[in-house]
A and B are shown apart, each in its own frame.
Chain A
Amino acid sequence: MLFNSIDFAIFFPLVFLLYWTVSARSLRGQNAFLLFVSAVFYAWWDWRFLGLVFLSAAIDYNVGRALEVTEASSKRKLLLACSLVANLGMLGFFKYYDFFIVNFNTAFSFLGMPIGLRALHVVLPVGISFYTFQTLSYTIDVYRKRISASHDPVAFASFVLFFPQLVAGPIERAGALLPQFQRPRRFDIAKARDGVRQILWGLFKKVVIADTCAKYVDLIYTDPGSMNGSAVVLATVLFAFQIYCDFSGYSDIAIGTARLLGFDLMRNFAYPYFSRDMAEFWRRWHISLSTWFRDYLYIPLGGSRGSKWFQIRNSLIVFAVSGFWHGASWNFLIWGLLNGFYFIPLLVRNSNRKHLGEVAEGRMLPNFRELSGMAGTFVLACIAWVFFRAKDLSTAMDVFSSAFSSSFFQAPERLQKSLIVPLTFCLIVMIGLEWFSRDRQYGLQLDGKVPGWVRMCIYYGVVFLIIANAPITNASFIYFQF
C-alpha cells in the first residue's frame, strides 16, 4: 500500500480510530492490532513475502532469547552467525543472486570458459533491505549486551513489521523503538497535530515536487544520449530534488504516521542540500542508514582509529557497501565509491567534522562562503546522482557526454512551460520553507516563527497543492526498490 494512495487514505484513519479506541484497552491488544494491520499493509503488495518477514522476526527473536541465556563466547558468536547468515542469506539471495550469476557468466565467458549458470529472475520482496537491517541491529545489540532480549513475541514482531517504516525506513534501532512497544502509549494531542503536519509536508514533497520532477527526468533519462546537454543537466538537477523529496517525503510521512500512533521514529533527513561539504551531506542524508553503517560496519572495521590510510580504507569500504545496499548493479557501487572519494580530501585535511551545526546559524541568509560550499556540495551530489539514476553505466556515460557537449548552451529539449513554471514555484516554496525551518525537524514546523494565521495559510496552501497534484496512480516511492 502506498502512502500516496486512496487505499492508504481509507486504511489509516480506520487504523487510527480502532487503535486508540477498541484496541487501546491493553498494551498487548494494541501491539497485536498493530501487528495485524502491519501485516495487512505489507500483504497489500504481495502476501507471499509476508512469511519472509515473519521468518526473519522469528529467527532474531529466538536468537535474542538464546543469546540472553548463553554466556560462552563461542556459542554467542555461533548464535550471532546464525542470525547474520539467515538474514543476509535471504537478502543476498533475493537481491544479489541474479547479479552475481550474470557477472560470473560474463567473466567466465570472457576467459573462454562459459559456465552458463541460469539467472532466476527472483522478485525482490519490498522493504527487505530495510527490515533485514533493522532486525540485524537487534541481534547485534543483544549480542553486544547493549539491550536485553525481548520476551514478548507480539511486541517484537510488531517492532519488525511496524507498518509506517517497514518498507522504506527509517531503519530503527531496537534500543530506541522496541521499548516503545513495551510501555503503554497515551494519546498526546500535540504529538498527533505535529504528526499530521509532518505527513502533510511529506506528501507535499512526494506528490507535488518528486512526482512532477519525475515527469521530466524520466523523459530525458530514457535516452540521454539523444538529448541536448542543457536538458540532461536540468534533468539531473531535477533528479536531485526528486530523490530527496521522494525519500525524505516518505520518511516524513512514516514519522508523522508513527507519531499519530504514539511512537517516535528517528530523523532520517536533516536538509542535506544545505550542507557545506560532502561529510556534512552524509550526516544529513539517510541518517538511519548512515548511522547503521557507522555503528555496525565502520566502527567494527576500526573506525577512525589508526592511520589516515586505514581510515580512508574503512570509509571506502562503508561507501562501497552502502552503494551496493541500494541495488545489485555496478552503477550503485560506483555511486557509493564516488561519494567515498569525495570524502577522502576532507578526511586527509581532518575537516570532515568541520560543519556540525546548522548553516547560517542565527542569521537569515548564508554568507558567500557558506553559499559556495552548499553550491559545490550540490554539484558533487548531482554528479554522483547520474550513476544512481542511469539504468546502466553506458547510459551514465551518455549523460556525461551530452552534458559536456556544446549542446549545453542550447535551450533544454522537451521542456514544457506548463511543467517547469509551476514546478519552479513549488521548489522555491519547498526550499524557502525548509531554509526557514532549518533548525527544526521538517519544513512545516513553524510554531513560534510566524503568526498563527500565516501558518494556517501555509498549511492550506500546501493542502491545496497536494490536492491539485495528487495522488497520481502508480507513482511509487523510489526507495521501495531497495
Chain B
Amino acid sequence: MVARFVKQCALLSLPIAAGLAGYVAWNRAYIPAPRLTGNVALNEQIHRVAELPSGRIQVLALGSSMTLNNLASGPVVEHFKTLEMINAGAWGMGAFETALLGPELVEHLDPSTVIMVTNLMDFIPGTPLNEKEVAAIREHLAHGGSFWDYFTFWDAPWFLRQMGLNRIRFTDPGNYEYLGFDTHGAATLEVPQDRIFPLRFNKPPPKPEELEENIYAAFASFSAWLRERDTDLIVLLSPYRKGLQDAELERMNAAHALRLKKILDASGHRMVNGNERLWPDSVFNDSSHLDRAGAEQFTRWALDRLP
C-alpha cells in the first residue's frame, strides 16, 4: 500500500519535475547567480569569481558601476601585459561597500595590483551589505560555489523574475543594467542615442554635504590594509560629462581628488584624476557612465598617466 502510494506520488510529480527541468534548461543561459545579497550584479560577480581557481592574479578591479562599466579590459591587459586580470566591479558597491568586501576578494585572488575606478557618487551612503550577506559571500568564495547554493538562498519568485530580466541584462549592452561580462568581468555599455534616459543623462553630481566622512575613513583603512599586504592600489577618478561641468563641480572634484590623493600617498598608492580633462558628452550614456568607446579612451588615457 505504502509503496503504491509512493509510486503514485512519484508518477504525479514527474510532469512537475519535467516541466521545471524543461523551463530551466530552456532558460539556462539566463539563470541568475545564487541570491547571496540583494545586489544582482554583485551576486553575478561573486559567483563568477568563486568559480575561478583561487590564487595569485596580477590585477583585480574593484568598485561600483564605475569599475564595471568604465574600465575597459583591453587597455588594462595591454598596460599590465597580463591576461590575469579580473574585474569584480558591481553596481551599488560604493567606496564603503568596496572597503568592506574588498578584503574578502583580495584574500581570495591575491592580486599584486588592485584598480578602483570611482567618482563622487561612491562617497555618498548607499545600501550597505549586512553581516549575513558578507558571511554568505565569504562562504561562497571559500567553497567555490555549488549547485546547493541555490537551495541555501532559495527564493523562487525572485529567481524566476531575474531569469526573465537576465534575457535583457545578459545580452543587451544598450540596457543600463547590462551584465554581459567580457572574459575579464567588465561590462561596457553601448546605449543607443534614442534609449538614453534624460533623467540619468542630466543627473547632477552629489552635493558636498552628501559626502560622508566614514566612507573616506573606510576607504583610508582599506588603502592602508592593501599596503600592509604589499598590494598596490591604483585609483582612477572617473569623470562627469562636459555638459555638467561648472565651477562648483570643478571645485568639488578638486577637493575630493586632493583628499583621496592624501589618503593614497600615505600608503604609497597611485591615482589618476579623469577630471583633469574634459570628456565630451558624446562618449557618455548618462552623466557619468561612459559608452564602450569612451571607456576604452578613458582607461587608456588614465593608465598612460600613471605616476
Instruction: Pick the 4 closest A-B CB pairs, nearest first.
Output: A20-B2, A187-B1, A189-B5, A192-B5
Answer yes or no: A6 CB below 8 A from chain B CBs.
yes
How many Å from the CB of B264 to the closest CB on chain A?
Answer: 40
Answer yes or no: B254 CB below 8 A from chain A CBs.
no
Answer yes or no: B151 CB below 8 A from chain A CBs.
yes
How many Å from the CB of B157 to the closest CB on chain A?
Answer: 5
Given contacts A196-B9, A460-B16, A473-B153, contact A468 B160 (CB under 8 A): yes
Given contacts A196-B9, A472-B155, contact A467 B4 (CB under 8 A): no
Residues of B within 8 Å of A196, CB to CB, are: 9
Q: Do B6 and A17 touch (CB < 8 A)?
A: yes
A20-B2, A472-B154, A473-B154 known; 6 new pairs, CB 8 Å cut-off, are: A17-B2, A187-B2, A187-B5, A189-B5, A471-B156, A473-B155
Query: Digit string of A439-476 for contact with B (CB within 8 Å is 1, else 0)?
Result: 00000000000000000000010011001111111000
Residues of A within 8 Å of B157, CB to CB, are: 468-470, 472
Residues of A within 8 Å of B266, CB to CB, are: none
Residues of A within 8 Å of B1, CB to CB, are: 187, 189
Answer yes or no: A410 CB below 8 A from chain B CBs.
no
Partner of A470, one of B15, B19, B156: B156
Looking across the interface, which residue of chain A has its beta carbon closest to that of B161? A418
Answer yes or no: A21 CB below 8 A from chain B CBs.
yes
Residues of B within 8 Å of A471, CB to CB, are: 154, 156
Q: Complex formed: what's the CA distance from A17 to B5 in Å? A: 11
**8 Å CB interface, A1-36 against B:** 6, 17, 20-21
Answer yes or no: B217 CB below 8 A from chain A CBs.
no
Q: Do A463 and B6 touch (CB < 8 A)?
A: no
Answer yes or no: B278 CB below 8 A from chain A CBs.
no
Q: Do B16 and A463 touch (CB < 8 A)?
A: yes
Enumerate 26 A-B pairs (CB-CB under 8 Å) in ascending A order: A6-B151, A6-B154, A17-B6, A21-B2, A187-B1, A187-B2, A187-B5, A189-B4, A189-B5, A193-B5, A193-B8, A196-B9, A460-B15, A460-B16, A464-B16, A467-B20, A468-B156, A468-B157, A469-B156, A470-B156, A471-B154, A471-B156, A472-B155, A472-B156, A473-B154, A473-B155
Q: Complex formed: what's the CA distance from A189 to B8 in Å? A: 10
How many Å from the CB of A465 to the closest CB on chain B?
Answer: 10
How many Å from the CB of B193 to the closest CB on chain A?
Answer: 29
* Interface size bracket, A side: 10 to 19
Residues of B within 8 Å of A473, CB to CB, are: 153-155
Query: Digit string of B116-158 for contact with A (CB within 8 Å is 1, else 0)?
Result: 0000000000000000000000000000000000010111110
Interface centre among B153, B156, B157 (most CB of A within 10 A): B157
How many Å from the CB of A263 to the closest CB on chain B?
Answer: 16
How many Å from the CB of A145 to the closest CB on chain B?
Answer: 39
Q: Complex formed: what's the CA distance from A117 to B213 in Å? A: 41
Q: Complex formed: what's the CA distance from A6 to B150 in Å? A: 11
Residues of B within 8 Å of A21, CB to CB, are: 2
**8 Å CB interface, B135-187 against A:** 151, 153-157, 160
**8 Å CB interface, A187-211 against B:** 187, 189, 192-193, 196
Residues of B within 8 Å of A472, CB to CB, are: 154-157
Looking across the interface, which residue of chain B has its beta carbon closest to that of A21? B2
How many Å from the CB of A458 to the closest CB on chain B?
Answer: 13
Residues of B within 8 Å of A189, CB to CB, are: 1, 4-5
Residues of A within 8 Å of B15, CB to CB, are: 460
Query: Digit string of A235-273 for contact with B (CB within 8 Å is 1, else 0)?
Result: 000000000000000000000000000000000000000
How many Å from the CB of A198 to the closest CB on chain B?
Answer: 14
Residues of B within 8 Å of A192, CB to CB, are: 5
Looking across the interface, which residue of chain A has its beta carbon closest to that of B19? A464
Query: Digit string of B12-31 for contact with A (CB within 8 Å is 1, else 0)?
Result: 00011001100000000000
How many Å from the CB of A336 to the closest CB on chain B?
Answer: 35
**8 Å CB interface, A84-129 against B:** none
**8 Å CB interface, B5-61 against A:** 5-6, 8-9, 15-16, 19-20
Looking across the interface, which residue of chain B has its beta carbon closest to that of A5? B154
Q: Complex formed: what's the CA distance from A310 to B8 in Å? A: 57
Q: Complex formed: what's the CA distance from A187 to B3 in Å? A: 11
How many Å from the CB of B38 to the closest CB on chain A?
Answer: 12
Given contacts A189-B5, A460-B15, contact A467 B151 (CB under 8 A): no
Q: Complex formed: what's the CA distance from A21 to B5 in Å? A: 13
Residues of B within 8 Å of A468, CB to CB, are: 156-157, 160
Q: Complex formed: what's the CA distance from A473 to B155 in Å? A: 7
Q: Do A467 and B16 touch (CB < 8 A)?
A: yes
Q: Complex formed: what's the CA distance from A467 to B9 in Å? A: 17
Residues of A within 8 Å of B4, CB to CB, are: 189
Residues of A within 8 Å of B8, CB to CB, are: 193
Q: Complex formed: what's the CA distance from A447 to B154 in Å? A: 34
How many Å from the CB of B23 to the closest CB on chain A?
Answer: 10
**8 Å CB interface, B235-261 against A:** none
Q: Complex formed: what's the CA distance from A17 to B6 in Å? A: 9
Looking across the interface, which residue of chain A has its beta carbon closest to that of B20? A467
**8 Å CB interface, A153-202 against B:** 187, 189, 192-193, 196
Q: Complex formed: what's the CA distance from A193 to B16 in Å? A: 17
Residues of A within 8 Å of B2, CB to CB, are: 17, 20-21, 187
Looking across the interface, which residue of chain B has its beta carbon closest to that of A456? B12
Residues of B within 8 Å of A6, CB to CB, are: 151, 154
Residues of A within 8 Å of B19, CB to CB, are: 464
How many Å from the CB of A30 to the closest CB on chain B?
Answer: 13
Residues of B within 8 Å of A460, CB to CB, are: 15-16
Q: Complex formed: what's the CA distance from A8 to B156 in Å? A: 17
Q: Complex formed: what's the CA distance from A6 to B151 in Å? A: 8
Residues of A within 8 Å of B155, CB to CB, are: 472-473
Residues of B within 8 Å of A463, CB to CB, are: 16
Q: Complex formed: what's the CA distance from A179 to B19 in Å? A: 43
